[in-house]
């Protein structure tokens, strides 16, 4: 246990000096939901802005409606779509990677099995 | 191990999910320096997910993972491994297409030279020495598990996480492997061992916890936990 007291101390020092990115618990699913909400809000704003522009003949009012509705809505829609693509794609790619690893392992097992069947295995 | 020692590893209200399905619903657990804690329970209880959260492979959705008192939630797995938090995963995690020696070479990231790692490994596991040039995929399950352990130990762990060491192995091999785990425990390494088959582990654990449905239901001395195990597994 004497030796390990030193190891524990070294471990404690390493952990204290570790540079960590802030963030803590996972924010990925929250950002995905935020992306969806931003997209929906953006779409609604853009449609409402469009209706306001169409319903008002006054150019100044039309510009104001475009600035607060349509343009803001489009910006939210683009931002939301970017978040959605980023975080749904990351998840998809992770599953894809896991699948590749799994297939590679299955292939190796098949090769080992074939070698063993031919009497070449030593396991 | 002392009862009053501050935990080296601690989980506080950890929740984790796969996609939208939450599998850990607030896990609290602590391992003191030099302590061996057995995390037991039937399949699907969240034991492996707990290990994944601790070693940084899965980020929790809530709660904290503390190492030596520092919040390391969300730290990358390789950072934690470099510091000395070593995981021997379920399913061994060895490279089947590489030889024993090449697999051991993977442990040199810790800075320890290969010849030193080999010497240490072959002394502890002589059978691996005999098979040093053999492709790992052609070795028996027990030998592969030995290699996984050897690679983990080569990194000089301060905290060791063992996930289902006995999976798919013959009882004699399991006994042999746990004999080695017992030696490691006696050298003062903190160990969290996850097992479905509890009896062997309870023989050398300082404390045991029962995990069911994504929560730690009970923590106590191995003798107390052993008495409750049949009820847990049989749902009585």
Contact B135, B71 (CB under 8 A): no
Determine which helix (DSSP H) or strand (DSSP E) holds A104, and give its type and residue range.
Answer: helix A72-117
Query: How many residues are listed for chain B in this entry?
Result: 236
- Of the listed ranges A111-120, B13-22, B163-172, B209-218, the least confidently predicted one is A111-120
Q: What is the per-residue pLDDT across B177-202, written as a single tens digit (0 to 9) for each?
A: 888 888 888 888 899 999 877 777 88
DSSP E strands: which ranges in chain B? 9-18, 21-31, 36-40, 62-67, 70-71, 85-88, 159-163, 190-195, 207-212, 215-220
What ipTM was reported for this prediction?
0.74
φ, ψ (nearest 5 deg) of residue B214: 80, 15
Cβ separation B188–A7 shorter than 8 A:
yes
| Residue B60 in contact with partner chain A when CB distance is under 8 A | yes
Confirm whether pTM is higher than 0.80: no
Q: Residue B2's pLDDT is what?
A: 46
Q: How far apart are CA B52 and CA B161, in angstroms?
A: 10
Pick from A20, A28, A109: which is nearest to B72 by CB? A20
| Residue B235 in contact with partner chain A when CB distance is under 8 A | no
Kindly state the average pLDDT of the residues B14-28: 88
Mutate to test the interface with A, among B160, B188, B191 (most CBs of A within 10 A): B188
Q: What is the per-residue pLDDT across A30-42, written as a single tens digit (0 to 9) for each?
A: 788 899 999 999 9
Q: Would you place residue A120 in the very low, low, confident or very high pLDDT band (cuts 50, 70, 90)? A: low
- Of the listed ranges B69-73, B98-102, B119-123, B230-234, the least confidently predicted one is B230-234
| Residue B66 in contact with partner chain A when CB distance is under 8 A | no
Mutate to test the interface with B, among A7, A104, A120 (most CBs of B within 10 A): A7
CB atoms within 10 A of CB A18: 17
Cβ separation A23–B187 shorter than 8 A:
no
DSSP E strands: which ranges in B47-153? 62-67, 70-71, 85-88
Q: How far apart are CA A17 and CA B165, in angstroms?
A: 32
């Amino acid at each position: 246990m004497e030796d390990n007291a030193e190891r524990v101390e070294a471990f404690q020092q390493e952990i204290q000096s570790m540079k960590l990115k802030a963030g803590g618990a996972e924010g990925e699913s929250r950002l995905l939901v935020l992306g969806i909400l931003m997209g929906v809000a953006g779409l609604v704003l853009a449609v409402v802005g469009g209706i306001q522009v169409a319903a008002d003949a006054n150019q100044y009012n039309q510009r104001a409606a475009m600035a607060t509705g349509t343009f803001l809505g489009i910006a939210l829609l683009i931002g939301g779509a970017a978040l959605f693509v980023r975080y749904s794609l990351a998840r998809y790619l992770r599953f894809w990677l896991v699948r590749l690893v799994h297939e590679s392992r299955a292939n190796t097992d098949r090769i080992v099995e074939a070698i063993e069947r031919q009497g070449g295995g030593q396991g | 191990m002392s009862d009053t020692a501050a935990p080296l590893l601690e989980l506080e209200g950890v929740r984790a999910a796969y996609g939208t399905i939450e599998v850990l619903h607030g896990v609290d657990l602590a391992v003191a320096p030099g302590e061996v804690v057995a995390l037991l329970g039937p399949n699907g209880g969240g034991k492996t997910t707990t290990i994944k959260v601790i070693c940084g492979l899965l980020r929790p959705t809530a709660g904290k993972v503390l190492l030596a008192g520092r919040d390391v939630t969300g730290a990358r797995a390789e950072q934690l491994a470099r510091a000395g938090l070593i995981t021997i995963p379920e399913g061994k995690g060895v490279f089947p297409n590489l030889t024993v020696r090449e697999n051991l070479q993977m442990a040199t990231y810790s800075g320890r030279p290969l010849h030193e790692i080999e010497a240490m490994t072959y002394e502890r596991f002589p059978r691996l020495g005999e098979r040093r040039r053999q492709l790992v995929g052609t070795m028996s399950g027990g030998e592969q598990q030995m290699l996984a352990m050897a690679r983990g130990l080569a990194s000089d762990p301060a905290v060791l996480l063992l996930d289902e060491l006995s999976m798919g192995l013959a009882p004699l091999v399991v006994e042999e492997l746990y004999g080695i785990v017992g030696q490691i425990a006696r050298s003062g390494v903190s160990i969290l061992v996850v097992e479905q088959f509890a009896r062997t582990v309870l023989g050398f654990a300082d404390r045991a916890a029962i995990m069911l449905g994504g929560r730690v239901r009970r923590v106590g001395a191995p003798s107390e936990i052993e008495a409750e195990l049949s009820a847990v597994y049989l749902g009585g």
